[in-house]
Amino acid sequence: MSSVQERLDALREQLRHHSYLYHVLDDPEIPDIEYDRLMRDLQHLEAEHPELITPDSPTQRVGEKPIEGFSTVTHRLPMLSLDNAFTEEELRDFDQRVRKRLELDDGDIAYAAEPKLDGAAISLMYVNGVLEVAATRGDGTTGEDVTHNARTIESIPLRIRGNDYPDVLEVRGEVFMPRAGFEAYNAAARETGEKTFVNPRNAAAGSLRQLDPKLTASRPLDIYVYSTGFVENGELPNTHSDVLMQLQEWGFKVCPERKRVSGVDGCLDFYRDIGDRRGALSYDIDGVVYKVDSLALQRDLGFVSRAPRWAIAHKFPAQEELTVVKAVEFQVGRTGALTPVARLEPVFVGGVTVSNATLHNIDELHRKDVRVGDTVVVRRAGDVIPEVASVITSKRPDGAKPVELPDRCPVCGSAVVREDGEAVARCTGGLFCEAQRTEALKHFVSRKAMDIEGLGAKLIEQLVAQEMLHTPAEIYSLDLEALSGLERMGEKSAANVIAAIDKSRETTLERFLFALGIREVGEATARSLANHFGTLEAIVEAPEEELQNVPDVGPIVAGRIRHFLDEPQNLEVIRGLRERGVAWPDREPQQAPADGPFSGKTVVVTGTLPDMTRNEAKALIMQLGGKVAGSVSGKTDYLVYGDKAGSKLSKAESLGVETLDAEQFAKIVSGS
Ligand code: IVH
C-alpha cells in the first residue's frame, strides 16, 4: 500500500495532466466525469489529512474568504504598452524603422504575429514552479495583487509543468471573457435586474478586481499568455515563437491563432486572414500584434518611453463607436412585448453601418438612462445584434428628458401593461394589434412551425399591410390571383408559395401547437403536450391541473395555455385552420413513467451535445419522467451539459447541483 503522500502526489499529478490537456491543449483524454471523480478522491484524501494540503493542489483554487482590500505589487520589470498602427502605411513605417535601426537594408524581418486580445493584462509570478503572485498591469510600474482571483481561473496553472523551468519565472498574458460567456452573463444580469457589463474587456477587468474569489470563480474567464517578464536562473529559447511553445509545454495556454511571418507582406496576410475570421472567433480581439521574433534583435532595438521598438499593434476597425441618439422607439413583438430601440445617426462599427440598436427592455433603458440627443457608445461584435453599451453623460444636451414607457401601444393604441416582477411591458391588443399580428404570422409560417417556404417575413408584412391577411387561417385561403397581383411577385413565385402553403397542410400536432404562438410554449413544450395528450381536443379540454401533469409545464405555462384556449377568437382560428384542411395524425397519449431515471427530477440542459440537439435531449428527459427547466436554480436536480456550456454550468457548480456530461447522460438514457 502506498503512503498517503504518494497517493496525494499521484492524484495531483493526474489532475494537473488532465487539466493541461483540457484547458491548454483543448484535447481532453478522459471524460469530465472521470476528472471530477479524481478531484473528489483528492478532496476526500485531503479532508482526512488537512495537514498535507499545499497551496498548489488542484483543490485549492477558490480560497475560503474574500480579501479585505487589494495590496500593491511593484512589477520587477515594467509592463509596457504597445504603439498602434491604424493603416498599412503606418505598419510599413514601423517595419522601415526596425530595419533602419538594425541596419538591415534588404531581407525581410521575421515577425511573430498574434491577435491583440481585448481583455485585461496580468502578470503571473512563479517561484520554484509555484504561482506566488498574480498582479494587474496597473500603471505599468505597480499593479494590484489579484492572486486570489487568478487562482480561480482553471487555465492558469498553479504549478508549472515539468521541471526545467527557471527558479523565478514571470509569465504575462491577457485574461479575457469569451464572447458567449459574456452574452450569457449579461442576459442573466438583465433578467435579475443586475448591472450588465459594457463589453467583454470590462467584464474581464471587473471580474479580476473582485474582493471575493467566489465571484470571480463564477465568471467564465480564460487566459492566453503572450510573453515572459522577469526571469531568474533559467534558460529561455531565442525567439518569441519558441518562447510561446515553451510556455505551452510548461502548462500555459497560448493563443492558437499565432504565426511566424516574413516581412510586412506576411504581417498583412495574417492581418487580413484573422480580420476575415474575427467575427467567428470565440473571443474579442481589437487588432493584431507583430513582434520581431528574434529576442536578440528585440534587445538591440530596446524601448522608447513606455513601448518597445520591436512590436506594434495593428488595430482593426472599432467594434465600438460614438454616435447620437435621434429617437427612442418601441417595437412590438409577437407576444406584444415592447422593446425599446435607439434610432441612431448612422455609424460604421464592427464592419457594418448601424442605425438602430436594441436597448433590450425598459429597465435596461432606464438603468443606462439613454435619452434622445445623447451621445452613446454603440457596440457590435461578431454577429451579435448592435446595442447601446453606455451613455456619455458629459455630452448630454440641456433639457434632454428620460424616456418613459408609453401607456398606449405605438402601433395599435391598446393599453400597455407591465405585470409585477416582469422586465417586459406588453401591448394588450393581441391579434388586434397589427404588429403582433404580423409577428404572429411570421412565427406561424417559420421553419420550425408550419414551415411554409417562400412565405417569408417581407411577404407577410406586405399581405398584412394590404389587409389581405389577418389570421393564420386566412393563409390557407390565399389564391394565385391574389398573390400574383402583389408588387414584385411573379406568377411563378406566386405558384411556388401556393404550393408550399398546400404542402404545409399536412403537419404534426406538435408543429401545429408551436405554430399557434402560445406564450411560453416553445418547441419542446409543444412536443411534450402532443406526446402527453395525443390529440388537440384533449388539450383544449384539459383543465389547468391536468396540463401541469405534462413534464415541462408548470403553473405559469399551464395558465398561459388555458388563457389562450379559453379565448373564443383563438378557437375560431384553430377551427378555421382545420376547415381549410390543416391536419395531423392523432396518436395515443403517452404518460411519463413514474419510475423513470428522471422521475420527479428537474433537469436543465446546456451547451452542445455531441449526438443530439438540446431539444432531443429534453424530449428524452421528459420521456424518462423528468421535468425540463430553462434555468438553473436551487430546485434543479441535474444539469446536463455539453461543449461550450457557459454560465449555467458555473452556476450549477456554485449551487452544488449535480452535473452530467454527455457521456454520463447517454449512459442514463440507454439504461446502462
Ligand atoms: S505584448 C511590450 N501581446 O495590449 C509588449 N500585448 O497595448 C506588450 N495585449 O497591456 C504586450 N494582446 O494587455 C502583447 N498578443 C499580445 C496582446 C497584448 C493584448 C494587450 C496587453 C497590453 C496591451 C498593450
The pLDDT tens digits for 318-328 are 889 999 999 99
Using CA positions, which residue lies closest to atom 1 of ligand 1?
Answer: 226
Which of 75, 79, 114, 116 is the best mutation target for the ligand 1 pocket, counting ligand atoms within 8 Å of the beta carbon and taking the most?
Answer: 116
Ligand 1 geometric centre to CA of 289 (Å) = 8
Q: Per-residue confidence at 385, pLDDT binned at 50, 70, 90?
A: confident
Ligand 1 geometric centre to CA of 227 (Å) = 9
Q: Per-residue confidence at 30, pLDDT binned at 50, 70, 90?
A: confident
Ligand 1 geometric centre to CA of 144 (Å) = 18
Ligand 1 geometric centre to CA of 13 (Å) = 32
pLDDT exceeds 90 at position 97: yes
Q: Where are the beta strands (DSSP E) in 233-369?
A: 259-262, 285-292, 303-304, 307-308, 311-315, 320-332, 338-349, 352-358
d(CA 467, CA 463): 6
User: Residue 672 has what pLDDT?
Assistant: 65
User: Residue 300 has what pLDDT?
Assistant: 95
Q: Which residues pair with 445 in a beta bridge?
A: none
Nearest in space to 155 (alpha carbons), one of 54, 20, 12, 250: 20
Work out the average pLDDT over 607-628. 81
Ligand 1: nearest atom to the Cα of 227 = 1
pLDDT exceeds 80 at position 190: yes
Mean pLDDT lowest among 391-405, 406-420, 439-453, 628-642? 628-642
Which of 75, 77, 79, 81 is the best mutation target for the ligand 1 pocket, counting ligand atoms within 8 Å of the beta carbon and taking the most?
Answer: 81
Using CA positions, which residue lies closest to atom 18 of ligand 1?
Answer: 116
User: Residue 19 has what pLDDT?
Assistant: 92
What is the secondary structure of 196-230 as a DSSP string? PPSSHHHHHHHHHT-S-HHHHHTS--EEEEEEEEE
SS (H, E, C) 242-256: HHHHHHHHCCCCCCC
Ligand 1: nearest atom to the Cα of 84 = 7
Q: Per-residue confidence at 136, pLDDT binned at 50, 70, 90?
A: very high
Whether the full predicted model's pTM is greater than 0.75, yes or no, is no
pLDDT digits (tens, 9 = 90+) for 475-518: 999 999 989 888 888 889 999 999 999 999 999 999 999 999 99
Task: Find out whether 669 and 623 touch, Cβ atoms under 8 Å.
Answer: no
Q: Burial code of 583-603, b = ≥16 C-beta within 10 A, e = fewer?
A: ebeeeeeeebeeebebeebbb
What single-letter DSSP state applies at residue 396?
P
pLDDT digits (tens, 9 = 90+) for 545-575: 889 888 778 888 999 999 999 989 899 999 9
d(CA 367, CA 378): 16
Q: Which of 65, 100, 116, 503 is catalytic?
A: 116
pLDDT digits (tens, 9 = 90+) for 236-253: 999 999 999 999 999 999
User: Would you call 100 a catalytic residue per the annotation?
Assistant: no
User: Residue 170 has what pLDDT?
Assistant: 98
Using CA positions, which residue lies closest to atom 17 of ligand 1?
Answer: 116
What single-letter DSSP state applies at residue 506?
B
Specify the pairing of strand 627-629 against strand 602-606. Answer: parallel
Work out the average pLDDT over 369-377. 95
Using CA positions, which residue lies closest to atom 12 of ligand 1?
Answer: 116
Which of 174, 228, 267, 284 is the best mutation target for the ligand 1 pocket, counting ligand atoms within 8 Å of the beta carbon and taking the most?
Answer: 174
User: Residue 255 has what pLDDT?
Assistant: 96
Work out the average pLDDT over 604-633. 82
Using CA positions, which residue lies closest to atom 16 of ligand 1?
Answer: 116
Q: Per-residue confidence at 644, pLDDT binned at 50, 70, 90?
A: confident
Instruction: List all residues whose CB is within 6 A of at least one atom of ligand 1.
Output: 80-82, 114, 116-117, 121, 137, 174, 226-227, 289, 308, 311, 313
Ligand 1 geometric centre to CA of 30 (Å) = 34
pLDDT exceeds 90 at position 207: yes
pLDDT exceeds 80 at position 591: no
Q: Per-residue confidence at 272, pLDDT binned at 50, 70, 90?
A: very high
Ligand 1: nearest atom to the Cα of 114 = 15
Which of 79, 82, 253, 298 is the best mutation target for the ligand 1 pocket, counting ligand atoms within 8 Å of the beta carbon and taking the most?
Answer: 82
Using CA positions, which residue lies closest to atom 15 of ligand 1?
Answer: 116
For the chain, the average pLDDT equals 91
